[in-house]
Amino acid sequence: MYWHRNDLQQCIADYATFYRKPHLNVVDAYRIMLRNGPRGVSPADVSLQKQLLLSADMVAIDAAAAKIFGKEPSDIAHIKIAEQMGVGRADLNSLTINRIIL
């Protein structure tokens, strides 16, 4: 509850600097919850995306995941804050992204 009372978005960005950065970040976006989380109330709350994201940069992977949800990374406060803190890069156009389609 501390985070929620003390600027949740800043706390999320700060946590990324707390211990040590992971070598690999994974986002499982096979089925994503669009609303009414964490359980949903109907099948319409879930979207089948069939995507798996991997990155050494935790800010970049959050930015890419935001795009899957139809959001702009710059509209998500903790992504913007973490980038400003130097945790990673949110500008997906400046990164080399490899897409593998099976």
pLDDT in tens, 8-53: 999 888 888 887 778 999 999 999 999 998 888 999 999 999 999 9
In a domain, 80, yes or no: yes
Q: Taking the alpha carbons of 54, 39, 67, 62 in that order, is the dihedral positive or negative?
A: negative
Rounded CA-CA distance 68/51 in Å is: 9
pLDDT at 2: 86
**β-pair partners for 47:** 32
In a domain, 68, yes or no: yes
pLDDT at 39: 84
In a domain, 81, yes or no: yes
In a domain, 101, yes or no: no
In a domain, 99, yes or no: no
pLDDT at 58: 93
Domain of 45 in residue numbering reads as: 2-94
In a domain, 100, yes or no: no
pTM for the model: 0.83
If one counts the domains in the chain, the total is: 1
In a domain, 102, yes or no: no
In a domain, 45, yes or no: yes
Rounded CA-CA distance 82/66 in Å is: 14
